[in-house]
């Protein structure tokens, strides 16, 4: 059997004999890989390219959601010489290893099969929060492995034959590892639903900033818009806010929609772990109080130099990503 990774034709073969590349065609929520591999890619060329690679065990799959390794247990000949998507083509393709209830063109993923589990790495390439129901190949308990803290949390999921169905909620540019298999020891509390929640406080309005030796009071803006260029930080943001009591049985999270790039949080004098990527979310169930609270966020960023002689940037977008704590900032019970 020969294998071809779900991706564009013409890439180099890896050590397992799979083609490299990523197919960036929109995902069809019904057909998944059946439509995606051939959507916008010459199917005849893909099949014809298969003999260039060595044998593949099909253990690693990579591409846009709906992707899977394309097996060639078909004697390495063309199924449909015309390149059309026919019933014969769809019947020859494998069952998708990831399927969504709705299209998600900006979602990419990698799937790795272990001896006793399936590991999926999802990445939302868009600047929008997205929520879908995902059905993935595998059997056992669905669990989220937190890349920032190293903690493991079980996910609310439903077994569906040789697949598992669970809600997949991703913030802008968020990466998430989901494992399907036996639970290891030391698992934390179940992951709450991030698709909905009760707002306890919205931290809008003015903040107090220690910015490059100056203390200013301002709403959340980029450092560039505050007149500070090519500055790596740190900048300390402080705010006193009032929170309502959390509903019984709910966990409370401090959530920041956008930070560039690295944030350290202190709530009511207690320092929390730093985050350098999405989601900028901290559980504060045992720290937040009904009533007045004091929040401090220290932000660092990476300076992007334009080089000597370059004309001044006309806007933040011309200068690259805006620096600082951009918000909005919410306290949410989930």
Token reading at 60:
């690693």
Is 107 domain-assigned? no
Mean pLDDT of 79-102: 84
Is 137 domain-assigned? yes
Average pLDDT over the chain reads 76
Q: What pLDDT sits at residue 172?
A: 86
Instruction: Mark whether 283 and 313 lie in a shared domain.
Output: yes
Mean pLDDT of 277-284: 89
CATH of the domain at 214: 2.60.120.260
The tens digit of pLDDT for each residue in 147-165 reads: 877 889 999 999 989 999 9
Q: How many domains does the chain have?
A: 3
Is 103 domain-assigned? no
pLDDT band at 171 (very low <50, low <70, confident <90, very high): confident
Instruction: Mark whether 232 and 311 lie in a shared domain.
Output: yes
pLDDT band at 168 (very low <50, low <70, confident <90, very high): very high
Instruction: Mark whether 215 and 293 lie in a shared domain.
Output: yes
The tens digit of pLDDT for each residue in 231-269 reads: 889 999 999 999 988 888 888 999 998 898 899 999 999
Is 105 domain-assigned? no
Q: What pLDDT sits at residue 195?
A: 67
Instruction: Mark whether 241 and 266 lie in a shared domain.
Output: yes
Q: What is the pTM of this model?
A: 0.60
Q: Is the pLDDT of residue 133 over 70?
A: yes
Q: What pLDDT sits at residue 141?
A: 95
- Which domain does 78 fall in, by range? 1-94
Side-chain half-sphere exposure of 243, counting CA atoms within 13 A:
29
Q: What pLDDT sits at residue 318?
A: 46
**Do strands 152-154 and 107-113 pair parallel, antiparallel, or not at all (unpaired)?**
unpaired
Instruction: Mark whether 289 and 310 lie in a shared domain.
Output: yes
Instruction: Mark whether 216 and 329 lie in a shared domain.
Output: yes
**Full DSSP string of 135-183:** EEE--SEEEEE-TTT--EEE---EEETTEEEEEEEE-TT-EEEEEEEPP
Tell me which of 288 and 39 has the higher pLDDT: 288
Is 235 domain-assigned? yes
Q: What pLDDT sits at residue 303?
A: 61
Dist. CA 120–CA 97, nearest whole Å? 10
Of the listed ranges 187-191, 316-320, 323-327, the least confidently predicted one is 316-320
Instruction: Mark whether 164 and 43 lie in a shared domain.
Output: no
Q: What pLDDT sits at residue 320?
A: 59
Is 109 domain-assigned? no
Q: What pLDDT sits at residue 94?
A: 82
Instruction: Mark whether 206 and 89 lie in a shared domain.
Output: no
Is 222 domain-assigned? yes
Estimate the share of the chain in helix, then strand, then coil, as percent rounded to the nearest 5: 5, 40, 55
Q: Is the pLDDT of residue 291 over 60?
A: yes
Is 106 domain-assigned? no
Residue 64 in contact with residue 22, Cβ under 8 Å? yes
């Amino acid at each position: 059997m020969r294998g071809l990774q779900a991706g564009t034709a013409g890439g180099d073969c890896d050590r397992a004999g799979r083609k490299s590349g990523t197919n960036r065609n929109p995902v069809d929520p019904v057909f998944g890989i059946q439509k995606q591999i051939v959507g916008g890619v010459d199917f005849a060329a893909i099949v014809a390219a298969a003999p260039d690679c060595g044998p593949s065990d099909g253990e690693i799959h990579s591409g846009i959601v709906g992707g899977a390794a394309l097996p060639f247990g078909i004697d390495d000949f063309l199924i449909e010489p015309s390149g059309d998507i026919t019933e014969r083509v769809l019947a020859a393709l494998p069952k998708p290893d990831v399927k969504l209830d709705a299209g998600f063109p900006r979602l990419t993923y990698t799937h790795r099969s272990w001896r006793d589990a399936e590991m999926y790495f999802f990445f939302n390439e868009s600047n929008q929060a997205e929520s879908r129901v995902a059905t993935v190949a595998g059997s056992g308990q669905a669990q989220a492995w937190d890349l920032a803290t190293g903690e493991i949390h079980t996910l609310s999921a439903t077994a569906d034959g040789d697949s598992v169905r669970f809600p997949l909620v991703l913030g802008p540019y968020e990466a998430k590892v989901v494992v399907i298999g036996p639970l290891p020891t030391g698992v934390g509390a179940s992951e709450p639903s991030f698709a909905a929640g009760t707002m306890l406080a919205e931290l809008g309005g003015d903040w107090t900033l220690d910015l490059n030796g100056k203390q200013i009071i301002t709403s959340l803006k980029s450092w560039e818009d505050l007149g500070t260029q090519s500055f790596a930080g740190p900048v300390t943001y402080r705010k006193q806010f009032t929170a309502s009591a959390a509903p019984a049985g709910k966990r409370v999270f401090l959530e920041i929609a956008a930070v560039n790039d690295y944030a350290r949080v202190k709530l009511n004098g207690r320092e929390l772990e730093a985050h350098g990527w999405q989601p900028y979310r901290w559980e504060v169930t045992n720290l937040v109080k009904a009533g007045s609270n004091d929040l401090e966020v220290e932000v660092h960023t990476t300076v992007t130099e334009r080089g000597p002689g370059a004309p001044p940037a006309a806007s933040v977008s011309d200068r690259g990503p805006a620096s600082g704590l951009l918000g909005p900032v919410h306290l949410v019970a989930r």
